[in-house]
Homo-oligomer: A and B are copies of this chain.
Amino acid sequence: MAECGGVDSSTSGHTMDKSITLPPDEIFRNLENAKRFAIDIVAKVRSFEHNAKDADSDKLYEISVQEEVTARLHFIKFENAYIETCLDFIRDHLVNTETKVIKATVDKEDEMTCLIKGCNFVLRNIPHEAFVYAKHADSEFRFQTTHPDIFPYLLINIGSGVSIVKVESEDKFERIGGSSIGGGTFWGLGALLTKTKRFDELLQLASKGQHASVDMLVKDIYGGSYGSLGLTGDLIASSFGKSATADKEFSKEDMAKSLLHMISNDIGQLACLYAKLHNLSRVYFGGFFIRGHPVTMHTITYSINFFTKGEVQALFLRHEGYLGAIGAFLKGAEEDNPNQYSWGENYAGSSGLMSVSPDMNPMQRARSGTFDMLEMDRLERQLVNLPLLQDPSSYIPDTVDLTEDALAREYWLYCFEEALDGVVKRAVASQPDIPEANERAEKFRQKYRHKLQTLRHQPFAYGSLTVRSLLDTREHCLNEFNFPDPYSKITSKWSLLVMPHMPIIVLMSALDNLCLKTIHPGFLLQGPPHKCALFFVDNSGLLSRGTEVVLASNSGPALNDVTNGELQILTERIAAMDPVIQAGLREDRLTLVQSGSSSPCLDLSRLDKVLAMVVRERQTDLVIIEGMGRAIHTNYYAMLSCESLKMAVIKNSWLADRLGGKLFSVVFKYEVPAGKPSQDSAALTPS
């Protein structure tokens, strides 16, 4: 993976416009700079019999490409109808032009190993990768927060057959069970029963059928429920039981539905039994039987709920269709140890989850079968939990889930749309000497506006929609069109650097005020002085008192938030003028560390490993999180194992309203973990 380069590697000849749009020639364009790529040909059910004449659109090919320039992984899923376009592209762009024949070497990778590697990768690196499906709930998807500690889990891969795999660590997995009754059975029996050859059509039929006309229910046998055995009347006693002796014709729809229930219930029961037997609570479902199909997700979920009485949840993966390709790629890049890095989903370059409700846009539906993309940005270091989280497994960074809160969603989507003009202007202004910046900024505007529109209809596209994800998406889109830091020319960030005297004093006094404010109510200095305080800063803040201080700032640019690089320079300048700061730095009582984030928000479960180490070493006993993005939109409810102070000025009147205060109110939320004497834990005071 060394050859994939960093952000600062040369972009020679590479157009600054990196937008990916359909159709295919655009799709494959991004492969141009790839050093390494793997084509994962997924020929479903037909045992790898590839036939160029056979334009069966159900066969998908997947390409995983590691782009050199941006340390980014591209995964593209497309129908095999486009395989020639792809090969043309490879011939024209990727292969030595003297070579007239493309020699394809297929490394037969172990399919299951690739699948598991891919699964570990997405579970570890993509927040909100896993979700619970609830057909009749307000929000179809309930996303799970992903944490670094992903093992052990059970993967139920439903392809032609079913493989039940227990995954215990990165390198240790075992196929503990399986079944021959899988997607191939639904397809095969379905084809025989209905003469319908297409898998999707069979699912369509199933979604319209009534299984009870084919299945024998408990009530068909006993006239009602079978109480003494705890069987309800509507329970299926015998799949296809009514077709044993009835002389009537059964409808295709009813038979397809009965078949779907039969298979889903069976897999559900097997999954539950294996989960119980191996004491596993996390059970993920994947494979082409599941892949984005609401009917199968629903029946599997129903079955799991029935058999485990809610003890085990059926979990699905947003990028389930990519697992094999990702795993194959990772396996090929093993000597580079891809796990030494962390990865994040790039919202600009990824298609996102399609709506799966039956009344969705058929165009969108079709797309999921033709092109689908996933891009992942590499972060140079491993991201880990903040060691001070009280319960990492229940930590949820975001304060409001806009997927579930329709009112808040409406507001924030409107808000980000309204702000778009300003962002475009700022982006152009940040590159005053580059003439085509205008053009790119316009493309950014289109792209982000389109994202916002998509999110309005599919708020679940990238997991739970949050203010954080909206901010991140904007950053990703800006970056996509090469506006990595639109605030680079904005004084609000650099003012500290540009005007060294006045603002620093202002800043310092502001911090003094802050200290007074927090100290005054008698919060922080009641006990002995803190050993070490950890500050998460946004676009202000620096403090040094008797307590050691760790200042955590963003690794990359986001809005006008100060980055670690900037803060280093800034702190040196301040130190030159301020003896307290100077002494702090010299005596190692003031430490600057990057957070690992490039977002205006803060996910305490994805922090730079070094920061976690410093926090532990310094025996940090106070965490201060400040700013709207870090303390209000995220972490407002975060529970820490030491004292914490969350503070922000509410700079948004809608939010102030919601919180029951006024615009520009200052929020101080001081919390002492259970077991320590606690104070009034939240205060919203007018500034």
**Chain A positions 455-498 with a Cβ under 8 Å from a chain B Cβ:** none
Whether A216 contacts B273 by the Cβ 8 Å rule is no
For A45, give its contact among B112, B238, B274 (CB under 8 Å). Answer: B238
A300 to chain B, nearest CB (A): 15
Residues of chain B within 8 A (CB-CB) of A230 are: 175
Residues of chain B within 8 A (CB-CB) of A48 are: 221
Question: Is A70 close to B, CB under 8 A?
Answer: no
For A244, give its contact among B188, B239, B245, B261 (CB under 8 Å). Answer: B188
Beyond A160-B241, A185-B241, A192-B250, list 9 extra A-B contacts (CB 8 Å): A161-B236, A183-B238, A184-B239, A185-B240, A187-B244, A192-B240, A197-B244, A199-B244, A270-B273
Question: Is A46 close to B, CB under 8 A?
Answer: yes
Is the interface on chain A under 10, 10 to 19, 20 to 34, or 35 or more residues?
35 or more
Mark each residue of chain A from 93 to 126: 1 if its CB lies under 8 Å from any CB of chain B, else 0: 0000000000000000010110000000000000
Question: Is A214 close to B, CB under 8 A?
Answer: yes
4 shortest A-B CB distances, which residue pairs?
A: A184-B238, A188-B240, A184-B241, A160-B238
Residues of chain B within 8 A (CB-CB) of A185 are: 238-241, 262
Whether B45 contacts A245 by the Cβ 8 Å rule is yes
Residues of chain B within 8 A (CB-CB) of A179 are: 265-266, 269
Residues of chain B within 8 A (CB-CB) of A197 are: 244-245
Whether B265 contacts A216 by the Cβ 8 Å rule is no
Q: Give the docked Cα–Cα distance between A7 and B680 (Å).
A: 89
Q: Give the docked Cα–Cα distance between A265 and B162 (Å).
A: 13
Question: Is A191 close to B, CB under 8 A?
Answer: yes
Residues of chain B within 8 A (CB-CB) of A255 are: 192
For A243, give its contact among B159, B188, B231 (CB under 8 Å). Answer: B188
Residues A45 and B244 in contact in the complex (CB < 8 Å), given A192-B250, A269-B177, A273-B270: yes
Q: Can you list 29 A-B contacts with CB-CB less than 8 angstroms, sorted by A residue number?
A: A45-B216, A45-B238, A47-B221, A48-B221, A159-B238, A161-B216, A175-B229, A175-B230, A177-B269, A177-B273, A179-B265, A179-B266, A180-B239, A180-B241, A180-B265, A181-B262, A183-B238, A184-B241, A184-B244, A188-B240, A188-B241, A188-B242, A188-B243, A191-B243, A191-B245, A192-B255, A197-B244, A273-B273, A276-B277
Q: Give the docked Cα–Cα distance between A243 and B197 (Å).
A: 9
Question: Is A442 close to B, CB under 8 A?
Answer: no
A551 to chain B, nearest CB (A): 49
Residues of chain B within 8 A (CB-CB) of A245 are: 45-46, 56, 187, 191, 197
Name which residue of chain B comes closest to A45, CB basis: B244
Question: Is A189 close to B, CB under 8 A?
Answer: yes
Whether B265 contacts A192 by the Cβ 8 Å rule is no
Q: Give the docked Cα–Cα distance between A113 and B192 (Å).
A: 39
Residues of chain B within 8 A (CB-CB) of A199 are: 244
**Chain A positions 556-572 with a Cβ under 8 Å from a chain B Cβ:** none
Name which residue of chain B comes closest to A265, CB basis: B180
Mark each residue of chain A from 137 to 165: 1 if its CB lies under 8 Å from any CB of chain B, else 0: 00000000000000000000001110100
Name which residue of chain B comes closest to A163, CB basis: B229
* Most chain B beta-carbon neighbours within 10 Å: one of A160, A184, A243, A261: A184
**Chain A positions 216-252 with a Cβ under 8 Å from a chain B Cβ:** 216, 220-221, 226, 228-231, 236-245, 250
Question: Is A182 close to B, CB under 8 A?
Answer: yes
Residues of chain B within 8 A (CB-CB) of A113 are: 228
Whether A188 contacts B238 by the Cβ 8 Å rule is yes
Q: Give the docked Cα–Cα distance between A48 and B245 (Å).
A: 13
Residues of chain A at the chain B interface (Cβ within 8 Å) = 45-48, 56, 110, 112-113, 159-161, 163, 175, 177-185, 187-189, 191-193, 197, 199, 214-216, 220-221, 226, 228-231, 236-245, 250, 255, 261-262, 265-266, 269-270, 273-274, 276-277
A159 to chain B, nearest CB (A): 8
Whether A184 contacts B216 by the Cβ 8 Å rule is yes
Residues of chain B within 8 A (CB-CB) of A175 are: 229-231
Whether B193 contacts A193 by the Cβ 8 Å rule is yes
**Copies of the chain in the assembly:** 2
Residues of chain B within 8 A (CB-CB) of A262 are: 180-181, 185
Whether A240 contacts B189 by the Cβ 8 Å rule is yes
A36 to chain B, nearest CB (A): 24
Residues of chain B within 8 A (CB-CB) of A181 are: 181, 239, 262, 266
Q: Give the docked Cα–Cα distance between A188 and B214 (Å).
A: 9
Whether B189 contacts A189 by the Cβ 8 Å rule is yes
Q: Give the docked Cα–Cα distance between A48 and B188 (Å).
A: 33
Name which residue of chain B comes closest to A177, CB basis: B269
Name which residue of chain B comes closest to A214, CB basis: B188
Residues of chain B within 8 A (CB-CB) of A216 are: 45, 47, 160-161, 184
Residues A184 and B228 in contact in the complex (CB < 8 Å), given A47-B216, A192-B193, A221-B160: no
A539 to chain B, nearest CB (A): 53
Residues of chain B within 8 A (CB-CB) of A231 are: 175, 178
A235 to chain B, nearest CB (A): 8
Q: Give the docked Cα–Cα distance between A311 and B255 (Å).
A: 38
Name which residue of chain B comes closest to A193, CB basis: B192
Whether B161 contacts A237 by the Cβ 8 Å rule is yes
Q: Give the docked Cα–Cα distance between A608 and B250 (Å).
A: 60
A162 to chain B, nearest CB (A): 9
* Most chain B beta-carbon neighbours within 10 Å: one of A48, A189, A242, A255: A189
Residues of chain B within 8 A (CB-CB) of A238 are: 45, 159-161, 180, 182-185, 188
Q: Give the docked Cα–Cα distance between A131 and B245 (Å).
A: 32
Residues A180 and B237 in contact in the complex (CB < 8 Å), given A188-B242, A193-B193: yes
Q: Give the docked Cα–Cα distance between A216 and B229 (Å).
A: 37
A328 to chain B, nearest CB (A): 15
Q: Give the docked Cα–Cα distance between A339 and B158 (Å).
A: 49
Whether B180 contacts A110 by the Cβ 8 Å rule is no
Whether A237 contacts B160 by the Cβ 8 Å rule is yes
A543 to chain B, nearest CB (A): 57
